[in-house]
Amino acid sequence: MDDVIILGAGIVGIATGIHLLRRGRSVTLVDKSEPGHETSFGNAGIIQREGVRPHPFPRDLQTLLQVGLHLSTAARYEPLALPRLAPPLLRYWWESSPDHYRKVVQSYAPLIGRSIITHSDLIQACGPETEKLISRYGWHLAFRSPDRLEKEAGKAQGDHDQFGISFKVLDWPALKSAEPDLIGGLAGAIHWTDPWTVRDPGALVEAYFQLFEKLGGTFIRGAAKGLKQTGNGWSADVNGRTVSAGQVVIALGPWAPDVLEPLGYRLPLFVKRGYHMHYGTSAAVKLNHLLLDPEVGYAMAPMARGIRITTGAEFAERDAAPTPIQLGRAERAAKELFPLGQRLDPQPWKGARPCTPDMMPIISKAPKHKGLFVGIGHAHHGFTLGPATGELLAQAMTGEATAIDIHPFRMERFMGG
């Protein structure tokens, strides 16, 4: 019997395994897919150190009307999903009120503060080939209107003053100097200088998984069924084989309710689905750094496979058929700014971001069962926060003092406790 079973081999599960192995625990990682091939794979590739403010529910009438009338590229919804999504979305709206949101940011900022530190630790452990995946330039939050650029510059200054986040304001000539092949249509950008970007997120997670195996971790591919508490720990069936351990970690992202609800944990989780596509360019054209176009609602990033466009949020059922409407809109908007070539993927990639109504993840011991721990609900920041979450869970599971206070991320906040 192992010390720990981890269900979910995304970046959170892998990082948790690494930190537990470093503390002398034996670990078995279980997933129905290859490691890192779900939400950890299909993102914009930002280690988002500046992201101290999680995405709130829009509260201005103009944005709400755009979403409600399906005019927005940044967010859309599937009407048939609304009956089930309405309760958590109503709470999401409530938690996004100014007073509540200020408290969320105060709790969330220290967690984001661990992002670069914990990624740097794992990247260094993986070696120089993994270092080649990383750019430390930062990224561009670009604006089409001077008024929006000025407004966001004021917010950025506030985050610098309160949280020490570094940035530069680039006017159009300065942005054009950094990105000579931009066509136009932009007033300038906020250059966030603290974050790192990754030219192949899937390859980075694969490198972390190789480190997990190098440290002695075991991986079993298959769906874990019938997770149950036993006399001395936990057991589950994987492909007809019983795996057991003293402790178990649920790091299944949007699939966590499938395991937690039979154990009596009904959490107000929902998903924001997203899509990506890669594009070619001519030999003479290059995008040097990630650019986010918030007035439309997509990101455009240079990746190993080509230029990757990632979409905003689609509120829909987790397993519903793809509806990549936002991708088409994002593609048209991106071509106004940059000479994108042909699509390189046979179809858009689709993933589901696991979300909580208060915009903060659950990093916690489960309150009703001994030896059950949970790391889920990271929304847009799962890739950023995977290693930090793994560090904090491993510390909590082995009785160490955690690097930051994890009380704000406890599961009980959704259970009346």
Domain residue extents for the chain:
1-56+96-133+199-268+358-417
Q: DSSP readout, 328-365?
A: HHHHHHHHHHS----B-SSS-EEEEEEE-TTS--EEEE
Distance CA 122, CA 120 (A): 6
DSSP state of 381: G
Tell me the pLDDT of the chain averaged across its residues. 93
417 — pLDDT class (breaks 50, 70, 90): very low
Q: How far apart are CA 212 and CA 15, in angstroms?
A: 8
pLDDT for the residue 385? 98
Lowest mean pLDDT among 55-64, 193-202, 337-346: 55-64
Phi, psi of 67 (to 5 degrees): -70, -45
CB-based contact 54:360 (threshold 8 Å):
yes
What count of other Cβ atoms lies within 10 Å of the Cβ of residue 4?
27
Statement: 1-56+96-133+199-268+358-417 belongs to CATH 3.50.50.60 = yes
Q: How confident is the model at residue 174 (pLDDT cuts 50, 70, 90)?
A: very high
**CA-to-CA separations, 90 to 65, 87, 198, 255, 353, in angstroms, rounded:** 16, 5, 34, 22, 18
Rounded to 5 degrees, φ, ψ at 385 are -100, 0
Tens-place pLDDT, residues 215-235: 999 999 999 999 999 988 999
Question: What percent of the chain has pLDDT above 70?
Answer: 96
Element (H, E) at 190: strand 188-192
* Angle at which helices 115-126 and 11-22 cross, to 10°: 70
Instruction: Provide, rounded to the nearest whole percent, the portion of the chain with pLDDT above 90.
Output: 83
The model's pLDDT over 94-142, given as tens digits with 9 standing for 90+, comes to 999 999 999 999 999 999 999 999 999 999 999 999 999 999 999 999 9
Q: How far apart are CA 267 and CA 414, in angstroms?
A: 6
Tokens 């809109």 belong to: 329
Listed residue (331, 273, 336, 330) closest to 296, CA to CA = 330
Q: What is the pTM of this model?
A: 0.95
Question: Mean pLDDT lowest for which of 210-219, 253-262, 316-325, 365-374?
Answer: 316-325
